[in-house]
A and B are shown apart, each in its own frame.
Chain A
């Protein structure tokens, strides 16, 4: 069945460091791929998405490219800020638009 695997956290970085959070998936067909972010005490928010192979989603300095050949959708940001501290979830779309989530990766950014 469809599934998503994310790198385990926590990921701890200094401000302005480069961020990569790995995400790989297993799916039948051609799902859409998403990154959601959950800030402390808040609900899940859509960060970015890509709907087909080689698409690049981007938002707030974050980006991820839909790589069909490696079944990956790694999240990157060139220079993280303290305000980026949150839990990041990779997800893919299944039947009836249900989302299948990874376990989440906690990011902590220190000044």
Chain B
């Protein structure tokens, strides 16, 4: 597609519920990133994929967070047993190569845990 697509755009979850957030990167993009943006803050790195390999997951805040990209294209970020502090905008970004080029962000999924 023309850009990075994320779905759903908005998600309301009850505390304790599991959620899955989807990211469709730009076709052919090798690198894929997930970021978490709390209200009024800058995005914070969660995890990085190069093709299907998860090379860096140092930013995942707890073992309730899990990400996958099984075929090197679409990625899913899963959050188990959601807590109120998980409320944030989750951003996905992709890049066509691994160089220092900046990358294209999706519009994000706004997760609200009630």
In the assembled complex, which residues on chain A have CB atoms less than 8 Å from the CB atom of B48? 96-98
A102 touches B42 (CB 8 A): yes
* Interface-located stretch among A12-20, A38-46, A73-81: A38-46
CB distance from A105 to the nearest CB of B (A): 10
Q: Which residue of A lies closest to B97 (CB)?
A: A97
Q: How far is the CA of A105 from the CA of B59 in the complex (A)?
A: 23
Q: Does A53 contact B (CB under 8 A)?
A: no
Q: Which residue of B lies closest to A95 (CB)?
A: B56
Which among B33, B40, B41, B102 is the interface contact of A98 at CB below 8 angstroms?
B33
- Also in contact, A99 and B45, with CB within 8 A (given A44-B91, A93-B100): yes
Within 8 A of A (CB), among B79-114: 91, 93, 95, 98-100, 102-108
Task: Fill in one digit per residue for B12-55: 1 if any A CB lies within 8 Å of its CB, else 0.
Answer: 00000000000000000001010100001111110010100001
What number of A-B contacts does a CB cutoff of 8 Å give?
A: 59
Q: How far is the CA of A32 from the CA of B95 in the complex (A)?
A: 15
B45 touches A100 (CB 8 A): yes
Which among A42, A44, A45, A97 is the interface contact of B100 at CB below 8 angstroms?
A97
CB distance from B48 to the nearest CB of A (A): 5
Task: Fill in one digit per residue for A29-64: 1 if any B CB lies within 8 Å of its CB, else 0.
Answer: 000101010000011111001010000000000000
In the assembled complex, which residues on chain A have CB atoms less than 8 Å from the CB atom of B42? 4, 89, 91, 101-104
Residue from the set B33, B98, B102, B108 with the largest chain A CB neighbour count within 10 Å: B102
Q: How far is the CA of A101 from the CA of B43 in the complex (A)?
A: 6
Q: How far is the CA of A79 from the CA of B50 in the complex (A)?
A: 41
In the assembled complex, which residues on chain A have CB atoms less than 8 Å from the CB atom of B102? 34, 46, 49
Q: How far is the CA of A25 from the CA of B35 in the complex (A)?
A: 20
Q: How far is the CA of A4 from the CA of B42 in the complex (A)?
A: 10
CB distance from A55 to the nearest CB of B (A): 12
